[in-house]
Structure 1
Amino acid sequence: MIEQHPDPQALAEEVCAAMWSRDCASNALAMQILGVKPGYAMMSMLVRADMVNGHHTCHGGYIFTLADSTFAYACNSHNQNAVASACHIDFLAPAKEGDILEAEAVERSLSGRTGVYDVTVRTRGGKTIALFRGKSYRISGEVIVGLQQAEHAE
């Protein structure tokens, strides 16, 4: 059971900052966090020249990585360590070099140790590029270690 934080929005922002400080993969791809709320995240990524494939469109692995990173911030926003147990993506349209992609993750279900999140990847102009569904599994521990113990001590 996820314990209620007195300010869930502040907690989501603190968790996001803690994860971002350790997230070498998303930083290496120059992703940006556009917003985070409990069970929600939005990130962006510029499609660079080194991200295009032989068809001169964005390699699907980069689109998946953006969606997966956004999913990670959404499913960890409650300060309970969560990892992906399954993910699926449907590619709907190509992204091109120079496009700014925005991924929006929304929590659809959170029960016990599992969660379901839908991520929509769009160009900044609004064209839908991919739909991603991620299933999370809560493992032991907290993103911000000791935060809940400290709150209970007050």
Structure 2
Amino acid sequence: MSAQHAVPDPAAQALAQAVGRTMYAADAASQGLGARLEAIAPGSARMSMTVRADMLNGHKSCHGGFIFALADSTFAFACNARNQATVASGCTIDFLAPAREADVLTAQAREVSLAGRTGVYDVVVTNQEGRQVAVFRGRSYRIQGNIVAQPD
């Protein structure tokens, strides 16, 4: 098992969960999407959302911007989970299949690389049947600060 897939130590996991709670409480965008944070660990996160009627485009499929927003939010939780403030420096997305009204989309983010202040994260978005809807790659950059207060 590689280090990035190893089970985190309990303190790192507890910190990631505190970061997730703190970030989600302040994240009006993810809340507005109806996105739910289902899991978080150092370097990874999982979120889901149900496609609503107001998310549909003229083809009656989920607008790509909503799928992107779910993937981007999941990326943000994954790259901040170590409690070091981190922002996106760039990203790409490929749409693979349409999502329809009432579909439950799940985005799973995993850290591919973390070196110095930069990281690379892959996010796979699937529907309730496990079909891949999109793949997203985000590049992160660590800035100064923490999400939750560090003990002295």
TM-score, normalising length: structure 2: 0.93
CA-to-aligned-CA distance 1:13-33 (integer Å, 9 cap, x gap): 000001011000000111111
Aligned residue in 1 for 2:100:
96
Q: Secondary structure at the match of 2:62?
A: coil
The answer to whether structure 1 residue 7 and structure 2 residue 11 are counterparts is: yes
Aligned residue in 2 for 1:32:
36
Aligned residue in 2 for 1:49:
53
Aligned residue in 1 for 2:120:
116
Instruction: For structure 2, list consecutive stretches of 5 or more residues without a partner in the other structure.
Output: 1-8
Q: Secondary structure at the match of 1:142?
A: coil
Instruction: For structure 1, list consecutive stretches of 5 or more residues without a partner in the other structure.
Output: none
The answer to whether structure 1 residue 131 and structure 2 residue 131 are counterparts is: no
Number of aligned residue pairs: give it: 145
Q: Secondary structure at the match of 1:85?
A: strand
Give the number of the structure whose alpha-carbon radius of gyration is greater: 1
Say what the alpha-carbon RMSD is for the aligned residues: 1.3
Q: Secondary structure at the match of 1:7?
A: helix
> How many Å separate the matches in 1 of 2:26 and 2:82?
17
> How many Å separate the matches in 1 of 2:21 and 2:42?
14
CA-to-aligned-CA distance 1:32-78 (integer Å, 9 cap, x gap): 11111110000001000000000000000000000000000000000
Cα shift at 1:6: 6.8
TM-score, normalising length: structure 1: 0.91
Q: How is 1:60-79 mapped onto 2 (pairs within 5 angstroms)?
A: 60-79=64-83
